[in-house]
Structure 1
């Protein structure tokens, strides 16, 4: 009965997406995804974006039909994650979005107005661009909230990695990997798995005979970076999924690896490049903050205004920062310490807070800004750079192990979302 209802909904959505015969069709439903849809205009927009990127890089693309399948696949996954975000109540406010746009512009050494001009000059509507950034932020927060709970790093794993890192030379090898995933469905039987393996082996043979890896990834990969030609970027052995790390170790530039079987399919890797990296020192900041949390009786606007008033009182010398934090801050841990957060690496904080403490001049009190926890003002008291001590080695080991397991669990979670979803393609 549930499937019949969904088919009926799909038919209704399709009929509603088409105008009367005397009118022009404005948009169509391309795919039904549970109770949501992917529109044809979204597919076309992503196709144009990929084509512009490929043209700039000089990358040869496969046929539009193949590209459209990959684009719909990405949009389906995005829609599933956005539906999960809605169920979890995850949103990104206009203030958070504006802060993200300011950060994007700053990274490119331009203002937000200049960023807007650049985006519009490329043929992209500014409002569409803003909403695409909002969706990316929502999806990222949903992934963090869901996948983090699935990741456990034991003290013994940390200690083992710390010991292994001590044995590494100062010039540690870093690899740039390209990746293709030839996937099979969850619960696939032995014949399906064997068929998938054979397809992966034939693809690997074509690659070794000179086929273009980037085009093959766009055409054949089920991996998350398929539309980027499978490029996973630079990483060292410790940051890779365990399956990859064991196979990539000591491999040279240009070598192919695979097929490697995981729970979601068979992986093919290419070592696109290799380089040595020097040991990274640890940057820490000492900061203090005041947090005001919106509530039923305190709106977002009122929370921002209240914090702005506290900030003005501190700047005017009417109240000490520590006293204001003890009286007003909604962060009980730091409030008792006058808002003091102690020494910490910026990456432990929420993204908006991290950006603030990384860029704020020492001794300057920030304007109110928003994170998922509420509204903050922050002051950076000092900065320092440390050599790799035992503590920092443990922190780095944890981050590397967490990153490795996080990526593995993210792929598993995304595959589970697909397997459990109702998906019907209406337009090829």
Structure 2
């Protein structure tokens, strides 16, 4: 034992120079609350900035200024990662792998190609993975803390929508069809009444599906009558004010009129548009019965129950709504006889959405398994809904959110740094 202790003592003494050398290789550069920034981290970041600047042929400030900026960035990084630790934010390896695969796909490359590219730049893949992991974590921390600081009023959204509308309208162009039911010279009230009656008849024919160009050739007093009433493409700011006001908010195929002017009654058809965003979404109206398997109700029995319900409903032996009220495990729709109302099918889980896509109005599905259980569904109706205004509002909201998120992120980081204990140690 004596010789063992003596040998251990000698080995410790002999290793002291090595430990001293190791200590000299790295040291604490900054104390940041409960964490530290190492000198090696500062040097690595400065070297990365220099390499990037050299590749872009950019001039850089002094090494001292670079060091100051690098330390500041690493302080903020440390504070965010410490907060993530307190909040319990983690990024699993599968989530990290998926993010890296998405990054590679965004560059039209595979993960293997990305690894090769990193190796060519002298970057270890494991180091890159951890950098990405930290970026994801910091992003989650920022979103969690900054989102609750953002408040957007409906008035702000409306104002921005008006501004977008004004900017967009300057680019809006319409291809217009035009029929003019003209007034004779020295127009009398009788002339106006007669013209109005003819205009109403033209509108009735068009509503019944008559060809616009044929009626324009036959009945229009306009100069473009022989062209089927086609006025060609016109910017909304270049067309007559009367027309510009009439076509605002209208869509391709819409027929507008009769509109009275000093020349007579005008009937317009929007033949086509460009420079105008129109968003249409398909909505479905469906109902369903949900049966959830349990310890006492097997998967097979749940499925067979719905098969029996389907057969009974088709045979007229049972009512779908009554079955839903009695048996469905979906409390939100069961009281309404399983009715889900009108909805964008994208809100449903993939299996449910796909089953609805395969149905014609009135048809019943076979039992469908989703994460919620077994469903028997019926598609009641489909419709195309104009979501342009909703999309504009969503766009305005997102623009405001992004602007405020950037502003509040800076404020949040500054406040976090000001309240933290920071000690920059001598170099």
The TM-score range, normalised by the shorter chain, is: 0.3 to 0.5
Tell me the TM-score normalized by structure 2.
Answer: 0.47
Q: Higher Cα Rg: structure 1 or 2?
A: 2
Q: What TM-score results when the alignment is normalised by the length of structure 1?
A: 0.47
